[in-house]
Structure 1
Amino acid sequence: MSEIKKMQDRLSAWLVKHGLIHRSLGFDYQGIETLQIKPKDWHSIAVILYVYGYNYLRSQYVYDVAPSGQLASVYHLTRIEYGVDQPEEVCIKVFASRRNPRISSVFWVWTSVDFQKRESYDMLGNSYDNHPRLKRILMPKSWIRWPLRKDYIAPNFYEI
């Protein structure tokens, strides 16, 4: 078993030991474990992961699972410690319903997520509770619907 896989197994086992409900979705091609967290549990688990040492949010994005399916909010977290050659990484997926895609914001845990969450809101309509400045940043304020959803139908307009 590789050293990376051992570290990731340690995180999953640690979460289970402390009664934190999650589901393992396996490992990616780099050996990074992907965990699924329920939307109602995400904020408290995010705080716990931060305290546990996952102090760097590398990226956050949302994708549409299927035209009538859920929206997945994905977080890539890294545990950076001084003097460690191989930092621990984990990928967290939080699935939200298409009709009401509300997830707790982790802005107050990792403030670097600010513009990434704004883009997720603007393009796919995910709403983040307790985000201080959630608003459209790419589309005009008058734009209706969410252009990166798989069921989006482009409006009939022509540029001059």
Structure 2
Amino acid sequence: MDSKLEQFQLKYQEGQALLDRGQYRSSVKTLEEAKSLVNPSSKLGGEVQLSLVTAYQGINKLEDAIALCQELTAHPNLAIRQQSQRILYILKAPQLKRPEEWMTKIPTTTNTEDNPTPRYIQAKPVTKPLEKPSLNLEDTTQMDTKDNGFIGLALGLFVVIIGGLIWLS
């Protein structure tokens, strides 16, 4: 493996790891370095650019994400083209407005490069867990032990099928 490809692999893996941890600004920087080390028209070049689209979204650069995704819809690799078309459809979808009462503000203790503002998450109503009636396995009075005739029906059907197979042969 040549050194340029090794450098690409390291930068790409590092960029993906940063992206997975939510460190979007660092991820953009690292993925752009990886992109410069590989042919953008190759499959690997397309994959790193798709990751860049996600990282751009993470730092609220939606216009950059859409522009890059539109470029990728003309990529030579079919799988990259198809994936970028799916992502582009999602990026261009109208944003739904969420009522403020659905949101809970979670303050951050520090503002970092990758987390400049507090984030909001959807609040879920607090509910009591449903109490399930327990079935005591020692107490057979709670079990329905009445014969429903299933065994007889299954056995009869089995005999008919076997008899039919013998008759056909």
TM-score, structure 2 length as denominator? 0.28
Higher Rg of the two aligned structures: 2
Which has the larger strand fraction?
1
